[in-house]
Amino acid sequence: MILKALEVGPYMSNCYIVGSERTGDGMIIDPGAEAGRILEEVQDAKLAIRMIVVTHMHADHIGALAKVKEATRAPFAVHQAEASKNYIDGASGMLNAMMGRSSLGIPAVDRKLKDGDQLEFGDLIFTVLHTPGHSPGGICLSGPGVVFCGDTLFNFSIGRTDFPGGDYDQLIDSIQKKIMVLPNETRVYCGHGPATTVGYERKANPFLQGHRYDL
**Tens-place pLDDT, residues 70-86:** 999 999 999 999 998 78
Taking all residues of the chain, what is their mean pLDDT, rounded to a whole number? 92
Whether residue 155 has pLDDT greater than 90: yes
- In sequence order, what are the residues at sequence separation of 6 or more whose Cβ sits closer than 8 angstroms to the Cβ of residue 81? 87, 130, 132, 136, 137
For the stretch 13-37, pLDDT in tens is 999 999 999 999 999 999 999 999 9
pLDDT of the residue at 212:
55
For the stretch 199-212, pLDDT in tens is 999 999 999 987 65
Q: What Å distances lie between residue 111 and 48, 51, 108, 114, 182, CA to CA?
A: 18, 9, 9, 10, 26
Whether residue 123 has pLDDT greater than 80: yes
Domains of the chain: 2-208 (3.60.15.10)
Rounded mean pLDDT of 123-127? 97
Model confidence at 164, pLDDT cuts 50, 70, 90, reads: confident
For the stretch 166-196, pLDDT in tens is 999 999 999 999 999 999 999 999 999 999 9
